[in-house]
Amino acid sequence: MSSQPKPQILLTRQEIEAVVTRLAAEIRQDYQGKCPLLIGILKGSFMFMADLIRLLEFPLEVEFIRLSSYGRGKESSGKIKVVQGLRSQVRGRDVLVIEDIVDTGLTISFLLDYLRKKRPASLKLCALTDKPSRRQIPVTIDYLGFTVPDKFLVGYGLDWDEKFRNLPDICVIE
Ligand code: IMP
Ligand code: MG
């Protein structure tokens, strides 16, 4: 295997757990008595989704959508398309999008526009991390975990060239 960059811990698993617990409490308050459709963006959100929904003690449904935007490196190609779509009806549903990181905002803006056209009853965004220094399109994040510096992050679902998703902490690679 070729030489790999060494990840340095930025957010520990304990810090992540505390923030996921806080986000779950905020979401529980707002969605009590509803049956929202949580839509995770693959692949980065899978671990966050799994931890978050275990703390949401009310009826909900889970969907995943796969978008392509990034190539194999660290930079977005800027062109986004749906690679694997939704099976659930979005029309009339309370939709909560679950994202790992909002960077330039291009991916999430595309997805929110795509979903809005399907006429959900409500549409909100929950993002574990936000890198506002790189934003190209304004994005409203209804439930935000961490604001992070302009570094490339891996772990807890986030990858670099498909590697490091399995790290339990969120780490920086140079
Ligand atoms: P955006 O379109 O630039 O906002 O990019 C959003 C997507 O790019 C996220 O869903 C991630 O999958 C990926 N991404 C952005 N920044 C990072 C990072 O630091 N590490 C890993 N993936 C990232
Ligand atoms: Mg992603």
pLDDT per position as a tens digit, 150-165: 999 999 999 999 999 9
**Which ligand gives the minimal distance to the CA of 41?**
2
Mean pLDDT of 70-95: 79
- Give the Å distance between the CA of 2 and the centre of ligand 1: 23
Against a cut of 0.75, is the pTM above it? yes
Tokens, residue 125: 């965004």
**Predicted local confidence at residue 128, as pLDDT:** 98
Residue 12: which residues within 8 A CB-CB, separation 6 or more? 169
Determine if ligand 1 sits within 6 Å of the CB of residue 109. no
**Predicted local confidence at residue 88, as pLDDT:** 81
Mutate-to-test residue for ligand 1 from 11, 64, 103, highest number of ligand atoms within 8 A of CB: 103
Q: Looking at the annotation, which residues are catalytic? A: 103
Shortest-distance Cα residue to atom 5 of ligand 1: 103
CA angle 83, 89, 91 (to 5 degrees): 115
Mutate-to-test residue for ligand 1 from 49, 68, 70, highest number of ligand atoms within 8 A of CB: 70
